[in-house]
Structure 1
Amino acid sequence: MKRILVVGGGLIGMRHAQAVMHHPDCALVGLADPDPTIQIDAPRFSCMGSVEAEVDGAIIATPTHLHADHGIEAAQRGWHVLIEKPVAGSVGDAQRLQAALQGAGVQSLVGHHRRYHRSLQQLRGKIAEGAIGRVINVSLLWAMRKPDSYFQQNWRTSDGSPVMINLVHDIDVLRFVIGEITQIAALRGASLRESERIESGAIALAFDTGATGTISFTDAAPSPWGFEAGTGENPNIGTTGQDMMWITGTQGAISYPSMTLWQGQDWGTAATRQPLETPIQDQPPLAAQLDHFLEVIDGAAPLIDVADAARTLEIATMIEETLRAQPAGAGYS
């Protein structure tokens, strides 16, 4: 039985705590959070420093800007860590955290949970085996309308960019499936909620494989297109089952999450759809991630550690900074 401490009692932290409580191979040591009003059937601690019980692993689900300090504190106590995404508030913080983990000799895992979708793992495998030949380009669309209450009287009103909150996941998906991103360019769209917050934009990407890609995004438009809507992974977002990513190659194309595979030769003959059996997601990605964290504690190689997640954060930061340098709605008349 692995002894797990959850640090941070917000929405995702409580989901982690429930997952630990229901897992047959681990026990919840307790929840560390300074808010005494949080209700949970487990021991409560105001901070990690007040935990005297033995801990094998800590799940860090505090606000992003605290990830590095909390991860370092856990590492200094010899606890392996699962840290929510983004891995840290800055690339420098992620590097500082990585150095502390190496110095303490503890393992890390980062909560880019989409990597645990069996369909995404299948997509990565199909790309790697050459099912569509050499990848040429990829197009990804994320368009949702967040409710107005999401931005009321909190930090998101001015700083709730979907790049760091949402697109950081999509960036990691592209790195996982296509390859390392080596170059970006970005254009900022209009801010429709009468704030200076980034709400929409278009991003061009170059990969180390020679492929290129685009991301179009907004959190101000209701649509059926987005990873959460397409896969049904988030209970707070309506499920549509619609594709949101399209990949072309020298021998065909594939779309996700339907895993619709097309193969062909040239434009004189229509591409043909190839039968493809898709895997069943037998458990939620968050539960699969917890399974893997227990393996990581025992020494297994992590699916994504702090060093790997820092590269995703670096790309997201580059995009965020490029967009912030532009006035809202630049190019609109």
Structure 2
Amino acid sequence: MKRILVVGGGLIGIRHIEAVQAHSGCTLVGLADPDMTIQTDAKRFTSMDAVDGAVDGVIIATPTHLHAPHGIQAAARGWHMLIEKPVAGTLQDARQLEAALQTASVRSLVGHHRRYHAPVQQLKSALSDGLIGDVVTVSLIWAVRKPDPYFQGNWRTAGGSPVMINLVHDIDLMRFCIGEIAQTAALRGASLRGTDRIESGAVALAFENGATGTISFADNAPSPWGFEAGTGENPNIGTTQQDMMWITGTKGAVSFPSLTLWHGTDWGSPAQVRPFAAHTNTQTPLAAQLDHFISVMDGASPLIDVADATRTLAIAQQIETQLTPNSVGKAAQYA
């Protein structure tokens, strides 16, 4: 039985507590959070320093800017960790965390939970197996209209960019399924809510394997297209079951999340739909992630560790920089 501590009692932290309590392979040490008004039946600690019992692993679900300091603190105590995404608030913080993990010989997993969706893993395998040949292009749309109260009276009014809140997940999805991103260029759309906040834009991508891609995104436009809408993952976002990503290859094409598969030859004959049933999740991605975290604590290779997640963060932050007024349109390359 793995002894797991949850740090941070927000919405996702409470979900982690429930997942640990329901899992037969681990036991909950408690919740560390200075807010003692949080409603939970877990044992309470005001901080990690207050935990005096044995801990095998910690789930860090605190605000993003606290991920690195809390991870470094946990590493100093020899605790393996699952850190919510994004991995850290800045690249410098993420790299300091990675150094602390290496020094302490502590294993890490980062909560980019989309990688645990059965159809996502099926898509990755299909592309790796050459089901549509060599990947040539990928197009992705994420467009919703967030409700006005989401931005009122909080930090999101000026700083709630959908790049770091939302697109970071789509970037990681593309890295996981298509391959490493070598270059980006971004164009910013109009800010329609009366602030200077980034609301929409278009991103061009070049992958190391030679494929290219585009992302169109907006948080001010209602649409049926987006990962959450297509998969029904988020109860706060209406489910449409519409595809939101389209991938072409030298032998055909596939769309996601329906995993509609097309095969073809040349333009003289229309591409034909081929049978390819999409897998369904047998457990929630959060539960599958916890299964994997337990294995990682025992020495299994992580699906995404701090070093891997830092690359996703670097690309997201570079796109964010390109969308600022003094750098729009500038391309960035990654070593």
Bucket of the pairwise TM-score, normalised by the shorter protein:
over 0.9
- Find the counterpart in structure 1 of residue 199 from structure 2: 199
- Find the counterpart in structure 1 of residue 242 from structure 2: 242
Task: Give the number of aligned pairs.
Answer: 328
- Find the counterpart in structure 2 of residue 292 from structure 1: 292
Note the alpha carbon deviations across 1:186-238, whole angstroms, 9 max, x for none.
00001111111110000000000000000000011111100001011111111
SS in 2 for 1:122: helix
- Find the counterpart in structure 2 of residue 321 from structure 1: 321
- Find the counterpart in structure 2 of residue 282 from structure 1: 282
Note the alpha carbon deviations across 1:94-118, whole angstroms, 9 max, x for none.
1100010010011000000000001
Aligned CA distance change for structure 1 residues 327 and 207 (closer, same or farther; 3 Å): closer
Equivalent residue letter for 2:70: H
Between the aligned partners of 2:60 and 2:193, the Cα distance in structure 1 is 32
Aligned pairs (5 A) from 1:49-68: 49-68=49-68
Between the aligned partners of 2:302 and 2:174, the Cα distance in structure 1 is 18
1:118 aligns with 2:118: yes
Between the aligned partners of 2:36 and 2:172, the Cα distance in structure 1 is 35
The two structures, once aligned, show a CA RMSD in angstroms of 1.0
The CA deviation at 1:52 is: 0.7
Equivalent residue letter for 1:43: K
Between the aligned partners of 1:164 and 1:152, the Cα distance in structure 2 is 18
- Find the counterpart in structure 1 of residue 312 from structure 2: 312
Between the aligned partners of 2:292 and 2:327, the Cα distance in structure 1 is 43
SS in 1 for 2:85: coil
Between the aligned partners of 1:9 and 1:205, the Cα distance in structure 2 is 36
Equivalent residue letter for 2:248: T
Between the aligned partners of 2:86 and 2:216, the Cα distance in structure 1 is 20
- Find the counterpart in structure 2 of residue 163 from structure 1: 163
Between the aligned partners of 2:91 and 2:325, the Cα distance in structure 1 is 19
Equivalent residue letter for 1:152: Q
Between the aligned partners of 2:260 and 2:192, the Cα distance in structure 1 is 35
Between the aligned partners of 2:324 and 2:38, the Cα distance in structure 1 is 36
Between the aligned partners of 2:53 and 2:236, the Cα distance in structure 1 is 35
- Find the counterpart in structure 2 of residue 134 from structure 1: 134
Between the aligned partners of 2:30 and 2:325, the Cα distance in structure 1 is 43
- Find the counterpart in structure 2 of residue 107 from structure 1: 107
* TM-score normalized by the length of structure 2: 0.96
The CA deviation at 1:325 is: 3.2
Between the aligned partners of 1:316 and 1:126, the Cα distance in structure 2 is 26
Between the aligned partners of 1:160 and 1:287, the Cα distance in structure 2 is 28
- Find the counterpart in structure 1 of residue 251 from structure 2: 251
The answer (yes or no) to whether the contact 1:30–1:43 under 8 Å persists in 2 is yes
The answer (yes or no) to whether the contact 2:321–2:327 under 8 Å persists in 1 is no
Between the aligned partners of 1:151 and 1:280, the Cα distance in structure 2 is 34
SS in 2 for 1:324: coil
Equivalent residue letter for 2:178: I
The answer (yes or no) to whether the contact 1:4–1:59 under 8 Å persists in 2 is yes
Aligned pairs (5 A) from 1:67-78: 67-78=67-78
Between the aligned partners of 1:52 and 1:79, the Cα distance in structure 2 is 13
The CA deviation at 1:62 is: 0.6
The answer (yes or no) to whether the contact 2:8–2:60 under 8 Å persists in 1 is yes
Between the aligned partners of 2:326 and 2:37, the Cα distance in structure 1 is 42
The CA deviation at 1:280 is: 2.1
The answer (yes or no) to whether the contact 1:188–1:326 under 8 Å persists in 2 is no
Note the alpha carbon deviations across 1:293-329, whole angstroms, 9 max, x for none.
000011100000000000000000100011123599x
Equivalent residue letter for 1:219: D
The answer (yes or no) to whether the contact 1:118–1:279 under 8 Å persists in 2 is yes
SS in 1 for 2:243: coil
SS in 2 for 1:163: helix
SS in 1 for 2:323: helix
Equivalent residue letter for 2:162: P
Equivalent residue letter for 2:105: G
Equivalent residue letter for 2:9: G
The CA deviation at 1:21 is: 1.1
Between the aligned partners of 1:326 and 1:222, the Cα distance in structure 2 is 29
Between the aligned partners of 1:321 and 1:5, the Cα distance in structure 2 is 36
- Find the counterpart in structure 2 of residue 211 from structure 1: 211
The percentage of aligned residue pairs carrying the same residue is 70
- Find the counterpart in structure 2 of residue 331 from structure 1: none
The answer (yes or no) to whether the contact 1:2–1:26 under 8 Å persists in 2 is yes
Equivalent residue letter for 1:195: T
